[in-house]
Amino acid sequence: MKKLTAPVQFLLLTLLAFCLVQCQSADKKSTDSGEEGTGTKTEKVSLVNVLQQKLDTATTNAFEKVIANAKDDPIAIQYLGHYAYLNRQLPVAAWLYALAKEKKPDDINNISNLAVCLHEMAAADSSGASNELLNDAINLLKNAATQVPGNAAVQNNLGYAYYQQYVNSGDSTILPQAETAIRAAIAIDPENAIFYSHLADIKKAENKPDEAVEYLNKAFSITPYDGVFLHSSDNFAPFAAATNSRGYCDSINFNCLKNCPPSIIGRIKVINCEMAQQDALLACKAGKPYAKSYNCDDEIPATGFMIPGLQSGVGIITPWGKLGILVQGGGNIDVKADVNTPVPGISFSGGGRYNPSSGMSKTYFGANVSVNLYDKGVVSPVLNKLGLGPAGVKVSVSTKDSENGIKLESLGTTVVHYH
């Protein structure tokens, strides 16, 4: 065999090296492009792209400008997602959560929020075209549950996503996976009504009405106004008929005599309180939302004037201000003070509650500026025509939100209050 010359050998070696480099580069590109479906980076980008395609260009451009101004901060992007979710703009919220995940992939709460959006989008699409989104949600939650197994919300969301998969497909073999995840959530947080309502849905799907009623009762006893419970119990005849199973309703007690003030007004409030308690008991037995307490508190009048006996308090009115002390039920004592200053129209106010067990609390302070309108030229006749009499404008700044704003007052009574 004829021996190759040195230049020919060098040329062949160069060609061989070039081929090896190109092959390695092609393999890397193949892996990064997700041909095998294992590239984590590709899955993130793919999900963002899929979700972005569901939005119009004007919407994405507007959000991208805001995100750029926020310097691509993932927390800011999440807050945008929260805003969109609360306004039920699910595709927008999901896209924003996916963007935030791309920038901060280890944020479990954001991953859970993203999965919930994908789940709801799939549930809202009756055509079944969004089943792939539900699969994405389940995969996200499975990974999150593996990373943080003690997160009750993730376990619950995973279980209910499995349940949605059963609803979409009718495959009952999925239900045990749903139940396992929901029970894991209950083990972590046993006082969450939502988890029991979801478990009741699973039991209804398994045609186990007695167990479904048991878990609905558990949810109902924890939170009678929970929206998830109302959805799960709605039109479920076995729960409505199982009035005898709700023994916990008998424990409803508003403690009216103890919690209402020791005064004539307080005794009237006792009657209203006991009527509200009876209404709550009947509603509970019927499986309907019911109140768990009744507010018997009286209020210190804005004028500071109180009649002993009619009210369980005393008001002291002086040129320098007003002081009101009112005894509420349970031994609580409310205090309110208004202090005038030498400058006409400027005053300060404050108040709080003394509780025998915890001391002083709920304290607030504020400043007020009042301007009398009654002697301001044409204002007086207009006020007389309106039947308002002496009136003024009061501007208040207070740590108590309800006191903030601008008021039109007549004879110490608020006519209009603008916050």
In a domain, 295, yes or no: no
What is the side-by-side strand order in the sheet with 359-372? 313-318, 321-327, 333-340, 346-355, 359-372, 391-398, 405-410, 413-418
Please indicate, yes or no, whether residues 224 and 358 belong to a single structural domain of this protein: no
Please indicate, yes or no, whether residues 229 and 273 belong to a single structural domain of this protein: no
Please indicate, yes or no, whether residues 58 and 188 belong to a single structural domain of this protein: yes
In a domain, 403, yes or no: yes
In a domain, 195, yes or no: yes
> Residue 76: which residues within 8 A CB-CB, separation 6 or more?
67, 70
pTM, entire model: 0.69
Q: Which residues of the chain have pLDDT under 70?
A: 1-45, 126, 128-129, 360, 362, 368, 370-396, 398, 400-404, 407-419
Which helix H or strand E contains 233, and what residues bound it?
Answer: helix 227-233
pLDDT digits (tens, 9 = 90+) for 118-149: 999 999 886 766 788 999 999 999 999 999 99
SS3 letters across 268-281: HHHHHHHHHHHHHH
Task: Answer whether 79's CB lies under 8 Å from 86's CB.
Answer: no
Q: Taken in order 42, 43, 45, 51, is the CA torsion positive or negative?
A: positive
In a domain, 3, yes or no: no
Q: What's the confidence (pLDDT) of residue 416? A: 61
Hey, which residues does 354 pair with through a beta bridge?
A: 333, 360
Give the residue carrying structure tokens 């008021």.
407
Please indicate, yes or no, whether residues 89 and 228 belong to a single structural domain of this protein: yes
Please indicate, yes or no, whether residues 278 and 220 belong to a single structural domain of this protein: no
Please indicate, yes or no, whether residues 75 and 213 belong to a single structural domain of this protein: yes
Q: What does the alpha-carbon distance between residue 183 and residue 146 come to, in Å, rounded to a whole number? A: 16
Q: Give, rounded to a whole angstrom, the gap between the first and last alpha carbons of the chain.
A: 100
In a domain, 141, yes or no: yes
Q: What's the confidence (pLDDT) of residue 45? A: 46
Task: Answer whether 216's CB lies under 8 Å from 251's CB.
Answer: no
In a domain, 198, yes or no: yes
Q: Which long-range contacts (CB under 8 A, 24 or more apart) does 128-134 make?
A: 128/168, 131/168, 133/50, 134/161, 134/164, 134/165, 134/168
Query: Closest Cα partner for 215 from 241, 243, 196?
Result: 196
Q: Please report, for residues 35, 167, 175, 199, 302, the alpha-carbon distance to residue 170 in angstroms, rounded to integers and kept in the order given.
A: 31, 6, 10, 17, 63
In a domain, 21, yes or no: no
Please indicate, yes or no, whether residues 255 and 395 belong to a single structural domain of this protein: no
Which helix H or strand E contains 97, and what residues bound it?
Answer: helix 90-103
Q: What does the alpha-carbon distance between residue 48 and residue 42 come to, in Å, rounded to a whole number? A: 10
Q: What's the confidence (pLDDT) of residue 363? A: 72
Please indicate, yes or no, whether residues 180 and 267 belong to a single structural domain of this protein: no
Give how many domains the chain has, as a whole number: 3
In a domain, 210, yes or no: yes
Q: Taken in order 51, 57, 58, 60, is the CA torsion positive or negative?
A: positive
For residue 213, count other CB atoms closer than 10 A to its CB.
23
Q: What does the alpha-carbon distance between residue 384 and residue 193 come to, in Å, rounded to a whole number? A: 56
Q: What's the confidence (pLDDT) of residue 331? A: 86
Please indicate, yes or no, whether residues 323 and 231 belong to a single structural domain of this protein: no
> Residue 271: which residues within 8 A CB-CB, separation 6 or more?
none
Please indicate, yes or no, whether residues 275 and 237 belong to a single structural domain of this protein: no
Q: What's the confidence (pLDDT) of residue 387? A: 59
Query: Closest Cα partner for 161 from 189, 194, 120, 128?
Result: 120
Q: Please report, for residues 33, 34, 205, the alpha-carbon distance to residue 23 in angstroms, rounded to integers and kept in the order given.
A: 15, 17, 53
Please indicate, yes or no, whether residues 410 and 382 belong to a single structural domain of this protein: yes
Please indicate, yes or no, whether residues 181 and 124 belong to a single structural domain of this protein: yes
Structural domain span for residue 369: 313-418
